[in-house]
Structure 1
């Protein structure tokens, strides 16, 4: 076996497709990463990367090695985590964006605990990619991750519809797209470019007029709060905001509802690499969605 340092440097560089980003993660210099990878390529007598002017790409051999190492490192990380926790089978870590965690995942986990009170569930909420988090069993993602080697299990396709306060909904009854475009629209700015924006929503409905930007927020929860207070319209993900619609805090303008362009997925380790608790949570979440409980 080649030295672990070389394999670790290669895995990080392959995951980021960047020697520089791998160096930041490993707290070494890009030159050190390059040296380790060059030593590995020399030992294997094969190139693992195609060096380009603006970055690197994996060769076929490099891709095969990365897939093997990625799975192996995840398994080792999971075992180490289980050893630290002292519970090898009833421990699961699941990730989601802050919006998905607050509006859907957390309430689902509370219901899950009613059936599986012995399973320890750790939730991680962040609005950046989870692909490099080896401590996460699986995470919820909107849309497929380009080039990801992780298994994707389809959850559901949501519906996009404007949502607002009951008072504003009464005023906008029967409103056209042009009428909606003239209302204060609460725009969401996130690091994840896969989320549908107001301009994209209007475009999908064939509207070609101007879509003014009067208000921007970086939190979906804040966007919904502003909409509830009558400050404008938020772009609602119907399944996520379902409790607010049921309670009457928000009203959906469903005459302009469209299917979301992408599905939500459960992304993470293959089932054979999940603990018993993680498998239980995954199966439970899928069953709850299929039953239409949420």
Structure 2
């Protein structure tokens, strides 16, 4: 005797209903499942017919779950979560690729010229170097294995066990002797008409 004879034959209908109940929307469920809204509606209606039970109360712009619909959703939610956890535990981590994000200047000067040597030294891995402009914003995304970034607020990271200080860097404006002449003071640099805005930006960056 089949112990699960009352469970609908189509698992897809249960999956569709779970998405509808979780998102409380036929439209959003259709987008998540990459199908049309009418297909979602048909699947839910077929499930209701198979179970001989009303699961969803359809309103003009919203839906509600019936008591049976809520009970079914809770059971599906628990079991889908357990199933997802089990399947995730079977997956082997992708250790063949190492993603290094780095500040644009460091990536172009220090890492990219060495990428061939890195790949030759570690042939079992594919090493990808991705230059980053907005470093501290990208830091929180987590889509990397290693991140080399610069900051003017190092004190914000002093107590973070996953962030290690490498070295201090210094920034300085540089120009030709013909441009600056005999003057060496910053005030004179700010008066140069050909690059006044650039000097202001550079000197501002130096604090």
TM-score (norm 1): 0.30
TM-score (norm 2): 0.41
Q: Which one scores higher on RCO, CA 8 angstroms, separation ≥ 6?
A: 1
Structure whose alpha-carbon radius of gyration is higher? 2
Q: Normalized per residue, which structure has more strand?
A: 1
